[in-house]
Structure 1
């Protein structure tokens, strides 16, 4: 199995382990909303585009809410989770970019479900998955920081470093320390639930905290 297939099953299992109304780290979403998001992201072009096109965001949210509203009972919720576990057909465009698109997405959403009700023990991450996540972070981890003038260096738990972005103007660089999975959660907006540490000048740390709060 590829990593996106393994992580899809991890996500589906995390969803099976909770109730439809279980909280998640996604503000305003319960487990059924997150499941609806994953299903529609791969199968509904409006929802898929709404992630990147602000003008479609409200419509995408309404479609996610509508599907989630159909999954309030245990049976209907289990049916929805089964659709999460059922990957798109090989001919579907979502299947063509599954490894580059879904590994980190599914990893983060699994933690959204696992940590939604509060802190839990970090799950053991296979070393090969660590490398897959790290490679994706190096490519896309700075997307949320496009307008942030502060430089960012990532440092893994094993000491491996990556210069994610350079500072602009008079700003300096902050250093984000943590295991790769925790850094992924931080860079994808789940800093309050991630076990990371940030070093740097107070003003630079404050600047990045406005975009990616860590507490």
Structure 2
């Protein structure tokens, strides 16, 4: 299995374990809403585009709500989760670039489910798995931290470090230190759930926290 396939399996397992109405780290979403989001992202990308295109957000939210509303029973929810397990159809570009498109996405959404349901202990990742997450994270982190008003350096204890956002002329730099999975959660705006240490000038740290949901 590839790494994104491993994470897809982990997401399916987490969704199955918690059932349709478990809380998640995504504000306003139960587990069935998160499952609906993943299904629409892979099967109806134009409908799901509102996640990244603000003018389309209303249509996307309605589609997620409609699909989630159809999955309140155990059987209908199981069918929805089975669509995630089946993967994206071949016509979807995500099926061609699945590692790049899905590895971090599925890792973070698995933790959205686990930690939203109170399973706060981080998963133990083997070295190759962590390295795959790290490589994808450092290539995408500048986008995730684009609203940060300070420089950002990600550091894995005893491992690699990378400056992912350049320090502005009139700002400082903040160091975010933690295991790779926790750094991914922080970068994806799950700052309150990520087990990281954030170091820097208090004003810069506070500004970064606001930008990352901490």
Normalised TM-score (structure 1) = 0.95
Matches within 5 A, 1:141-160: 141-160=141-160
Taking the aligned partners of 1:138 and 1:76, their CA distance within structure 2 comes to: 38
Contact 1:149 1:169 in 2 (8 A): no
Taking the aligned partners of 1:10 and 1:147, their CA distance within structure 2 comes to: 30
Contact 2:191 2:209 in 1 (8 A): no
Aligned match of 1:10? 10
SS for the counterpart of 1:163 is strand
The alignment of Structure 1 onto Structure 2 pairs a total of residues equal to 214
Taking the aligned partners of 2:88 and 2:151, their CA distance within structure 1 comes to: 38
C-alpha deviation, 1:88, in angstroms = 2.0
SS for the counterpart of 2:212 is coil
Aligned match of 1:94? 94
Aligned match of 1:210? 210
Contact 2:176 2:196 in 1 (8 A): yes
* Distance change >3 Å, CA 189–CA 58, structure 1 → 2: same
Unmatched segments (≥5 aa) in structure 1: none
SS for the counterpart of 2:153 is strand
Taking the aligned partners of 1:92 and 1:213, their CA distance within structure 2 comes to: 31
Contact 2:182 2:196 in 1 (8 A): yes
C-alpha deviation, 1:119, in angstroms = 5.0
Aligned match of 2:72? 72
Alignment pair present for 1:139 and 2:143: no
Contact 1:36 1:68 in 2 (8 A): yes
Taking the aligned partners of 2:158 and 2:119, their CA distance within structure 1 comes to: 23
Taking the aligned partners of 1:115 and 1:45, their CA distance within structure 2 comes to: 27
Matches within 5 A, 1:26-37: 26-37=26-37
Taking the aligned partners of 1:149 and 1:35, their CA distance within structure 2 comes to: 33
SS for the counterpart of 1:66 is helix
SS for the counterpart of 1:176 is strand
SS for the counterpart of 1:159 is coil
SS for the counterpart of 1:115 is helix
Aligned Cα root-mean-square deviation (Å): 1.3
Taking the aligned partners of 1:172 and 1:120, their CA distance within structure 2 comes to: 31
Alignment pair present for 1:109 and 2:89: no
Matches within 5 A, 1:109-128: 109-128=109-128
Unmatched segments (≥5 aa) in structure 2: none
Aligned match of 1:189? 189
C-alpha deviation, 1:126, in angstroms = 2.1
Alignment pair present for 1:61 and 2:65: no
